[in-house]
Structure 1
């Protein structure tokens, strides 16, 4: 605790005061850029004029009356949880350690940015990993919806934006201070290896969809910090998401709309996204279209129960299989199942394709093949002689288009996947395959070739995909084949059953009520069922028999997807 007295500061405040539980006001004002760092000779001594000026600047930035006195309103604002970054450039950078420069603003010199949650909250039991990842996705999407930036999640160590939940001193020069006080910080774009990295204090009780008085809303704080990660400094406007003080929850991530001032500031840095009007204020009723349903619903719950025609995952063969955003999607008819990157089945029941990807024809009863395009990470659906391109969940304008755009026959394709070995896209149809360069948008010379070159792979596939273990997987009927790394030959021990290894099915299991009761005994001890009002069951579960060796489905941390742009050129030898 620290007591201010007339002979020290010229400003009197009754009683003992601190800005928060541990930081005296002098230190608080210095930490956030209102006072120069402490003089090593004079310690905390400051002139009355300097302190008065600093307090007025803090009050002005915080929207308080400029009294120059540490009154209760000022101290109350100092105690408010907030971002670690300073509010203004420090008056004197020579006397103390150098902090992040606030001016001039920096920005990324590229438009496709990768992100990864490297460590997850340990103290916030209410937030599971999938929910944390979904909230990060939504918080980044707030900015990419209005600016020409594209964010995609990766599993490797080379992400542009590394996200960590950590405590106290975590070796970046900006230690956290326990519950309250500073809750998060992010590094501005630039040449530093920490550029874009975003850190959350794991001593906070992070929450989602909780009352204002319960914990710290992760989505609201993440939107603020990602604003810093793309180059925005703090703003003094009360309604700005970039105001340094914690606002409380900002509402549903699916419907959150940035304040207009924040939009203008990011437009000044990056320009306006093509589909955004920068002349319309957010309260214009013409701009209140219903938001799309996003891929990763925070609660992993469909709001519509499956129809009676929903297929049985354990007895069916699949129309298409794809890896999208690092997760596996199994498509059948009008439905799909999703597995997390840890290979956990999100739900025992399928979700409807049209609920997630808006823009496919209403009468489309199935898809032939699906893949995530390298480079821009857009999602491509094939059906017959047509294809559609989606950015996240929304179809791009001008689709469908004919598959002849790729140089493919109008009969369409059976399977498509991107080979990690060379980042080329491979299309399969009957007994032939083609190799396509998505970066150059052209078919490679010398194709098609005979599928027999892929030794052990059957013709007329249902689909294929690469997975986070760097292997390629080929699916047909109820079986699948694995091809390791850069090989073109099936591994020994294959084919294996799809349902048993991927979809939590026992040998004789189906989705009928009689067998479901018995199948629950095979689920791993992490089976958390949630019965919504409509009776739709949701779980995150693994199976004891769900891998070829009878091991749980969770992958080794070493089995991760290498970022697309880090592949060695030496791996791109033609096949």
Structure 2
């Protein structure tokens, strides 16, 4: 319901402004502000909690004494000389870009407190975040914006028990938006300058934790533009609100409401000690963190890349690190939701159930699966669990579990959870024949029971279970035709599950049969492509098939060849016996 102020209300307001103007003219310490300055000053003091809003019903307004007290409270909070009048330094500070949230409630303003602690904090330690929309006209690219959000949150998680992880979807605890003007949250933006951002305190409301930036600001990063607004500095401040901190008057605090310019390199930024103390009072100190320790910047494996210069979103040049699908070997291959995914470096290609390539250009892994490290340079193995259809990513000594595109809380975790040794895996896939998951590393493989969450007895084995495939693999996957496909280098092998042996005519070209590289010729025995590319991991070397010991010799006149074939057949037979023995033990 719209309330129309009465004539009495307007009369009281006019008399109030006249009294304020007289008081200002009586002061000889500063030039007399204009009527416009006075109106803006009163609006500003009301907006940020130093004056209560006028009551249009009763017409009750502040007295001159109350106004003077409000100005003094604002000046003290802002670090100015408390004159009680709208002098030039006060008006200048009021024009400084700042956070939208009030500094004090009315009752706090009357008591002139320096700061006030919020009534709420998060009652959980794992918080999700998501950039729902990005700046529309900024020179900062999407990846740079997301990286800056990551580092701004990391400032707080480095010293508290809080953990932040990026997710996709609409259920993030902290939704990040770049909005303009009135965006229906009670804190409208006002264009360039003025209020630049705000965030909502923790709680049960659907907006709790949400953080909004004014899309009409010129957001910058590592820029020499003195008129720009440093996104990292503002984000650190606003995320302080999102986890429960209010404004404080300390001139050195990141929670000071006024924009103070860039705060330095996000990789090295260290919160002022007073800010640390305030957040520790809410959540405690992160385990193993010294209260006086500087941020540890030596471990950067999980940290997203930040460019030296802002990305230019209008530039659409292809990325230099995009691999060529027709000439590369793949880091990982997986069947996910019935579709095939080929991973290389930071990218992947996707094939539909009918083996139709969705796009000739690869997509970026971290944009599809939100929650993986932004600087992830590759993955080692990927598979979909048959038990719950969740997707598992492996990289080095760690793994992540995803439900659809969203990472589960608590990840990454060490691969020792599976009973695997440290050092990573080369390949992983779930075999539909027995619902077991097989892990491969060098010339070893393990059998894991996802239902029982334990490794089968007797593993690892040194001999491959499936006959006729390489001893070392890049990856493997089952497919909708009922076969299992094993990949190494630029080639693949097909095994029909009931046969346990590679089909005749394999290996074949992965690029030609899977990645729509129809102009490529089949790899001949004497061509360079028969040198099966080694898996792109440290310690692997590029070796020929004969050197790796998995080339099948067609000659039978040599006694040595006969012995080698018989020996391999014996090892294969023993592997089959071991598999069924392990299965029998697990049943008993």
> TM-score scaled to structure 1, two decimals?
0.59
Q: Which runs of 5+ in 2 are unaligned?
A: 1-13, 26-31, 110-114, 310-321, 336-340, 351-360, 367-373, 401-412, 460-469, 478-483, 494-507, 522-588
Counterpart in 2 of 1:337? 346
2:146 is equivalent to residue 133 of structure 1: yes
Larger radius of gyration: 2
2:127 is paired with a residue whose SS is strand
Alpha carbons of structure 1 residues 357 and 311: separation in structure 2 relative to 1, 3 Å: closer
Alpha carbons of structure 1 residues 11 and 460: separation in structure 2 relative to 1, 3 Å: farther
Matched ranges for 1:50-89 at <5 A:
50-89=66-105
Residues 111, 148 of structure 1: 8 Å contact kept: yes
Query: In structure 1, which of residues 299, 312, 326 is the aligned counterpart of residue 307 of structure 2?
Result: 299
Residues 371, 381 of structure 1: 8 Å contact kept: no
Query: In structure 2, which of residues 187, 202, 206 is the aligned counterpart of residue 189 of structure 1?
Result: 202
What are the superposed Cα offsets for residues 138-166 of structure 1, whole Å, 9 maximum, x if unpaired? Answer: 11111111111111111111111000000
Counterpart in 2 of 1:161? 174
Q: Which has the higher contact order (CA 8 A, sep 6+)?
A: 1
Query: In structure 2, which of residues 324, 327, 331 is the aligned counterpart of residue 315 of structure 1?
Result: 327
1:193 is paired with a residue whose SS is coil
Alpha carbons of structure 1 residues 41 and 311: separation in structure 2 relative to 1, 3 Å: closer
Alpha carbons of structure 1 residues 413 and 296: separation in structure 2 relative to 1, 3 Å: closer
What are the superposed Cα offsets for residues 251-287 of structure 1, whole Å, 9 maximum, x if unpaired? Answer: 1111111111111111111111123101x275xxxx7
Residues 16, 62 of structure 2: 8 Å contact kept: no
Q: How far off is 1:298 after superposition?
A: 2.2
What are the superposed Cα offsets for residues 358-390 of structure 1, whole Å, 9 maximum, x if unpaired? Answer: 9xxxxxxx985479999xx998545xxxx4579
Q: How far off is 1:344 after superposition?
A: 4.0
What CA distance in whole angstroms lies between the structure 2 residues aligned with 1:411 and 1:209? 37
Query: In structure 1, which of residues 215, 223, 226 is the aligned counterpart of residue 239 of structure 2?
Result: 226
2:346 is paired with a residue whose SS is strand
Alpha carbons of structure 1 residues 196 and 297: separation in structure 2 relative to 1, 3 Å: same
Residues 320, 330 of structure 1: 8 Å contact kept: yes
Residues 185, 198 of structure 1: 8 Å contact kept: yes
What CA distance in whole angstroms lies between the structure 1 residues aligned with 2:492 and 2:328? 13
Counterpart in 2 of 1:406? 418
Matched ranges for 1:174-573 at <5 A:
174-211=187-224, 213-278=226-291, 280=292, 290=298, 292=300, 295-299=303-307, 314-320=326-332, 330=343, 336-338=345-347, 344=363, 369=381, 381-382=395-396, 387=397, 405-408=417-420, 413-416=425-428, 428-429=439-440, 434-436=448-450, 442-443=453-454, 462-463=474-475, 476-477=487-488, 478=490
2:62 is equivalent to residue 46 of structure 1: yes
Counterpart in 2 of 1:118? 132
2:7 is equivalent to residue 7 of structure 1: no
What are the superposed Cα offsets for residues 314-364 of structure 1, whole Å, 9 maximum, x if unpaired? Answer: 5232344799xxxx9956xxxx435799964599xxxxxxx9789xxxxxx
What CA distance in whole angstroms lies between the structure 2 residues aligned with 1:85 and 1:202? 17
Query: In structure 2, which of residues 8, 33, 40 is the aligned counterpart of residue 24 of structure 1?
Result: 40
What CA distance in whole angstroms lies between the structure 1 residues aligned with 2:133 and 2:212? 10
Alpha carbons of structure 1 residues 262 and 428: separation in structure 2 relative to 1, 3 Å: same
What CA distance in whole angstroms lies between the structure 2 residues aligned with 1:117 and 1:58? 34
Residues 446, 455 of structure 2: 8 Å contact kept: no
Q: How far off is 1:63 after superposition?
A: 0.6
Alpha carbons of structure 1 residues 381 and 5: separation in structure 2 relative to 1, 3 Å: closer
Alpha carbons of structure 1 residues 372 and 160: separation in structure 2 relative to 1, 3 Å: farther
Q: Which runs of 5+ in 1 are unaligned?
A: 94-100, 302-309, 348-354, 359-365, 391-399, 419-423, 449-457, 466-472, 482-494, 510-575
What CA distance in whole angstroms lies between the structure 1 residues aligned with 2:121 and 2:384? 27
Residues 19, 79 of structure 1: 8 Å contact kept: no
Alpha carbons of structure 1 residues 404 and 172: separation in structure 2 relative to 1, 3 Å: closer
2:106 is paired with a residue whose SS is coil
Give RMSD over aligned pairs. Answer: 5.2
> TM-score scaled to structure 2, two decimals?
0.58
Alpha carbons of structure 1 residues 312 and 170: separation in structure 2 relative to 1, 3 Å: closer
Higher helix share: 2
1:12 is paired with a residue whose SS is helix
What are the superposed Cα offsets for residues 388-443 of structure 1, whole Å, 9 maximum, x if unpaired? Answer: 579xxxxxxxxx98x6652459998543489xxxxx99554499753548xxx943
Q: How far off is 1:174 after superposition?
A: 1.2
Q: How many residues align?
A: 412
What CA distance in whole angstroms lies between the structure 1 residues aligned with 2:173 and 2:333? 28
